[in-house]
Chains A and B, each alone.
Chain A
């Protein structure tokens, strides 16, 4: 079974803090993704990476950055957390591009106070 793990299920941070969300996959997938999910809006793509050290902006990259130093690990960074970044963050990985099947982690519910 493909496993995508995320470092925390729940996280509470203060406004202005730097926040790191970690994601690890164990299937040697080239592609990894970060989404945020908000009620009524579905999932929105923040960033994706198709190879180590490569990254591409998704629909809503503002306020976020990413890092992929190793193939299995993809990190989402909030440089200075704000209350409007309170959300569920989902990581996914895939062996293909486009609409190839994506495998999702359990999500991290981040609250910024």
Chain B
């Protein structure tokens, strides 16, 4: 899997839009970008996945520039319940080798009232 770099922590006030950027300079042609969310005392939860340009669902948007060397997870109008750790992963959807699955430390988002 391509190595990813993301901020260790971020703070935001309620109601603001939060953008978390992930760098993945050595992303391969067949790689997808996936984001997970983990609340305290729970397992991670899949949020969104994309390959290029923009993907949007009911939870978040994912922006991927043309060179795909980075991606940005956007959370609109965050609330206290969005306080969680967010993980960026990059890899091939069809690869059978799992021995490099790396969640990394993620970005700890704290939403302040």
Given known contacts A42-B106, A104-B43, A107-B42, is B93 in contact with A96 (CB within 8 Å)? Answer: yes
Residues in chain A within 8 A of chain B (CB atoms): 4, 33, 35, 40-45, 48, 50, 56-59, 90-92, 96-107
Residues in A whose Cβ lies below 8 Å from that of B65: none
Residue in A42, A57, A96 with the greatest tally of chain B CB atoms within 10 Å:
A42
If A45-B99, A56-B98, A59-B101 touch, whether A100 touches B93 (CB-CB below 8 Å) is yes
| Given contact pairs A42-B106, A101-B46, A106-B42, A58 touches B95 in the complex (Cβ within 8 A) | no
Contact A43 B44 (CB under 8 A): yes
Give the shortest distance, in Å, between A16 (CB) and chain B (any CB).
28
Q: Can you list, as one digit per residue, whether each of B1-24 has a CB less than 8 Å from chain A (1) or not (0)? A: 100000000000000000000000
Q: How far is B87's CA from A107's CA once the two chains are assembled, in angstroms?
A: 17
Report B23-41 residues with CB < 8 Å from chain A CB.
Answer: 32, 34, 41
Bound CA–CA A43/B98 (angstroms): 13
* Interchain residue pairs with CB less than 8 A apart (15): A4-B43, A44-B103, A56-B98, A56-B99, A57-B99, A58-B99, A59-B101, A97-B96, A98-B94, A98-B96, A99-B1, A99-B49, A101-B46, A102-B44, A106-B42
